[in-house]
Amino acid sequence: MKTILPVAVAGLTLALLAGCAAPDVYKQRSDLVTNPAACAATRFEVYFDQDQARLTTAAREAISMTASQLQGCDITKVQVLGLADARSGTAAANQSLSERRARSVAEALASAGLPAPAFEVTGAGADGAVVNGVNDPLRRRTEVLIEAKPR
């Protein structure tokens, strides 16, 4: 029994080392080290002050950072959905506000270099502010989904 264990370990070691010498098993570092997330679907939210469609400094930074990360990618679709808080205003006013929010984000994304033809810009108004029957004040935002792939 004592002699079988060292022989088995030696055989296993030789088998493992033989794989190291096989040609074309290992690729170049550039083939292995990539950043696949750089050109993948990206989702983020842009928040607004109450009753405002003007971008905040934080919103402009988020848009700029996202556009920078997606440079060199093929942008296939940009969905921008504006939402409004239903606690104030009429349904028509909230619809208008959510559409203005979506347009302001879309314009900033286009100015940052994303292709405008890929845009789908919509507003959900106050209907988007209700989650499970409860008004959600964090709905004062625009949701952005960007579909991108490597060129």
- pLDDT of 102 reads 95
Residue 13 lies in a domain: no
Residue 44 lies in a domain: yes
Residue 82 lies in a domain: yes
Residue 56 lies in a domain: yes
**pLDDT(100) > 60:** yes
**pLDDT(45) > 70:** yes
Residue 40 lies in a domain: yes
Residue 15 lies in a domain: no
**pLDDT(43) > 70:** yes
Instruction: Give the domain CATH number at 93.
Output: 3.30.1330.60
pTM value is 0.70
Q: Which domain holds residue 103?
A: 34-150
Residue 114 lies in a domain: yes
Structural domain count, the chain = 1
Residue 63 lies in a domain: yes
Residue 144 burial (10 A CB sphere; 0-12, 13-18, 19+):
buried
* Length of the chain, in residues: 151
